[in-house]
Amino acid sequence: MTELTKEFYEELVEIRHYLHQHPELSNEEFETTKFLKRKLEEWGIAIVPTSMKTGVIAEIGDKSNGKVIALRADIDALPINEKTGLPYSSVNEGIMHACGHDFHQTSLLGAAKILKENEDKLNGLVRLIFQPAEEVQGGAVEVIQAGHLEDVQAILGFHNHPKLKVGEIALIEEGIMASVDQFFIKVHGIGTHAAEPQLGVDVPIVISTILTQLQTIVARNIPAREAIVLSVTHIETGQAWNVLPDDGFFEGTIRSFNQDLRKETKQRFVKIIENTAESLGASVEIIWGSSAPVTYNCPKLTKIVVEGSKKVANVIQATPSNAGEDFSHYQEKISGVFAFIGTNGEEGANGWHHSNFLVKDEALPIAVNYYVENAFHVLDNFLV
Ligand SMILES: [Zn+2]
Ligand SMILES: [Zn+2]
């Protein structure tokens, strides 16, 4: 593990606090992009031209031996009002780094500087991906479409983890985060006077019947040992106590760790909605929103990253999370490993996307070295 000098650690803390104070929403990370470029240029690191409107791609080392590894950090924030009361709280009203992506990008910046200082020892090329728009599940696809993954053989990323202590890195072979499917359902009935329901098709009854039926998928169609989540999170219909509305709407998400069951769940989902609506005289439109596959850690690469991470921290077995990650899109193309790095560990620490979400700066050296040690270790041992 490379010890960070006191000055460098303090510089990174300052960078993290600056980024925390100036969060930007997905696809709008313009100032963040400028800031990252300025830092990388200051440290003599080559920026790669890109067609992406936000985000930064940079490179260290050379690929004359054909070896290329990518290190990825996401850079976007969330539409949340910060309530931490920190002296470096967000100055951008209604926007907060409540998922800790300020921590991720600072860690990758720190790693970039150390890797640049040790460039002559690198056994290949390291591509740094400061990815935009993770929260809307679109950024990874943008990076891939811009061609930045084409010559890459392995990719590493991580997410901070508030439930894990500083000094812990959690890894697991295979699925570490769930697949994500987002759905929007429009329900069309026939509006009527509340006193004359026989003249219409009652949309509130159609929606509530569908919702109850949908819960039978997880309860009755999926083997009990498998983890599938189906949540309806938002329903809208009607505006008055004495009017049955024409239309309604509901949306939500499906999470899974198993590709076959994901497919089966979606099929049952469509069937239940269509058949239930039809049986009650209504019609539906089913619209699928953004999606991400399972964040699947390549077992062979995970073993190498476990070895590399042991030089940096206490490596523990990860408990998979039902949250999703668009890092999974990279792993569909090439071998990738995604870790959880402990950043809090206090009793009752708030989770991701909470207005009181906190990350401890003391975890920065661990995350920096997760990237640095594993970049070296993977270039030396995985890519041959
Ligand atoms: Zn998030
Ligand atoms: Zn996140």
Three-state DSSP at 187 gives: strand
Q: How far, in Å, CA of 53 to CA of 115, rounded? A: 26
Ligand 2 centroid, distance to 172 Cα (angstroms) = 18
Name the burial class of residue 223, with classes exposed (0-12), middle (13-18) and buried (19+) by CB atoms within 10 angstroms of its CB.
exposed
Q: Is 353 annotated as a binding residue?
A: yes
* pLDDT tens, residue by residue, 92-118: 999 999 999 999 999 999 999 999 999
Strands (E), 275-365: 283-292, 295-297, 314-317, 335-344
Q: How far, in Å, CA of 271 to CA of 286, rounded? A: 11
Q: Is 329 annotated as a binding residue?
A: no
Q: Which domains does the chain have, with CATH numbers?
A: 6-177+294-381 (3.40.630.10), 179-291 (3.30.70.360)
- Percent of the chain residues topping a pLDDT of 90: 96
Q: Is 22 annotated as a binding residue?
A: no
* Average pLDDT of the residues in 30-42: 98
Ligand 1 centroid, distance to 298 Cα (angstroms) = 23
Ligand 2 centroid, distance to 99 Cα (angstroms) = 5
What's the confidence (pLDDT) of residue 358?
Answer: 97
What's the confidence (pLDDT) of residue 160?
Answer: 98
Q: Is 234 annotated as a binding residue?
A: no
Q: Is 101 annotated as a binding residue?
A: yes
* pLDDT tens, residue by residue, 69-93: 999 999 999 999 999 999 999 999 9
The 3-state secondary structure of 365-376, one letter per residue: HHHHHHHHHHHH
What's the confidence (pLDDT) of residue 53?
Answer: 97
What's the confidence (pLDDT) of residue 290?
Answer: 84
What's the confidence (pLDDT) of residue 1?
Answer: 77
Ligand 2 centroid, distance to 196 Cα (angstroms) = 49
Question: Which ligand has its closest atom nearest to the C-alpha of 354?
Answer: 1
Ligand 2 centroid, distance to 309 Cα (angstroms) = 21
